[in-house]
Amino acid sequence: SRPTVFIQRDYSSGTICKFQTKFPSELESRLDKQQFEETIQTLNNLYAEAEKLGGKSYLEGCLACLTAYTIFLCMETHYEKVLKKIARYIKDQNEKIYAPRGLLLTDPIERGLRVVEITIFEDRSIGSGR
């Protein structure tokens, strides 16, 4: 299968969803460090927005509790809305930055929010001649 780079989770701030911004060496020939860091940082910020504790999320929580959580059956949660935003962002990044360089970002939600998977196409660096 194609070589893949996995960006693991960063748990230094607790259980919130955050990915490591360390630039993997396998991508050095393909991508700017800055672009990579910007992508991951934006993703981290988006997940932080999804999990943010504040007035709005508490309101949603209390309202849900009062309706015996039946409200979740018909309403989309704040988290789900942000996840859609993240999916759009990833698609956008793939189209603009990653696909032209022969890379593909996989949405972490498809990996259970464990990793950001970057698939490397056209092994120019490895030279095994696909």
Partner 1 sequence: MKNCEYQQIDPRALSVSPSSAQNHTEKKAQRPRRKWEVFPGKNRFFCDGRIILARQSGVLPLTLGLIVVTCGLFFAFDCPFLVEHLTVFIPVIGGVLFVFVVISLLRTSFTDPGILPRATPDEAADIEKQIDTSGSSTYRPPPRTKEILINQQVVKLKYCFTCKMFRPPRTSHCSLCDNCVERFDHHCPWVGNCVGKRNYRFFYSFIISLSFLTSFIFGCVITHITLRSQAGKSLLQAIQESPLVICFFSIWSILGLSGFHTYLVASNLTTNEDIKGSWSSKRGAEDSGNPYSYNSIMTNCCVTLCGPMPPSLIDRRGLLPPDEATPAASASDIELPLFAAKNDTHMCTQSTKDVLERMVHSSDFHGLCPPGTPKTTPLEPEDSSTPAPSAEPSPSSTGCSQQHAHQPMATPCPPFSRGSKRDSLHSINPAFRLASPSPSLSRASLILGDAADTGFIPLP
Pick from 60, 46, 130: which is nearest to 88 by CA?
46
Rounded Cα gap, residues 105 and 118, in angstroms: 5
Binder of partner 1 out of 28, 41, 72, 123 (CB under 8 A): 72
Using the rule CB under 8 A, give the single segment among 30-38, 48-56, 95-103 that binds partner 1.
Answer: 48-56
Which residues lie closer than 8 Å to 72 by C-beta, 6 or more apart?
64
> Of the candidates 40, 43, 50, 90, which one interacts with partner 1 according to CB under 8 A?
50
Least separation in angstroms between residue 72's CB and partner 1 is 7
Q: Tokens for 16? A: 């919130």
Nearer to partner 1, 38 or 106 (CB): 106
| Gap between the Cα atoms of 57 and 74, Å rounded | 17
- Contact footprint for partner 1 (CB under 8 A): 1, 4, 6, 9, 11-15, 50-53, 57-58, 60-62, 64-65, 68-70, 72, 77-80, 83, 104, 106, 109-115, 117
